[in-house]
Amino acid sequence: MENYAGFWIRVLAYIIDTIILALAGSVLGAIYVFSVLGLDNDPSYLSGGADLLNLFSIIISVAYFAGMESSTWQATLGKKALGLVVTDVSGNRISLMRGVGRYFAKILSAIILLIGFIMVAFTARKQGLHDIIAGTLVLKGTPETVGTDLSVFE
């Protein structure tokens, strides 16, 4: 059971990912603002831009989390930095669609007063609600060391 990634290490991985996405979003947002303002510096061109930036932010977040977790790395940059991987319940790499489902299931984990995330601290396999819904695990290790035999985690 010690190879399941617990609550605090997952929180730290998420903080790292949030910092990375915030930096990337700031750069992309600045590029957007300066490209829209152009040379005349008239901020009226920015009306409606916030909605576009919010949509773009969601797309980038889904692509980052689902894409990275379903890649051969099986982890976002934050998870990789801390030696974590995302697998299905059999220890296999997840598909992109499972990654997308896991991302959107996190919304449910969040809107119920974060209880879906807090569940990680109390479930046997350290799964949050979003992990249970998507059928995923977060394990300590690398894609090479995490095999399909999860009996080693029991």
b/e code 36-62 from CB counts within 10 Å (16+ = b): eeeeeeeeeeeeeeeeebeeeeeeebe
The SS3 of residue 134 is helix
- Per-residue pLDDT band for 39 (boundaries 50, 70, 90) equals low
Most distant CA pair in the chain: distance in Å?
64
pTM, full prediction: 0.85
pLDDT in tens, 110-135: 999 999 999 999 999 999 999 999 99
Per DSSP (E only), the strands in the chain are 84-88, 136-140
- Per-residue pLDDT band for 145 (boundaries 50, 70, 90) equals confident
Q: Which two structure tokens, joined as six digits, stand for 121?
A: 């601290």
pLDDT in tens, 51-103: 777 888 899 999 999 999 999 999 999 999 999 999 999 999 999 999 999 99
- Per-residue pLDDT band for 137 (boundaries 50, 70, 90) equals very high
Question: Which pLDDT belongs to residue 69?
Answer: 97
Evaluate whether 10 touches 84 at the Cβ level (below 8 Å). Answer: yes
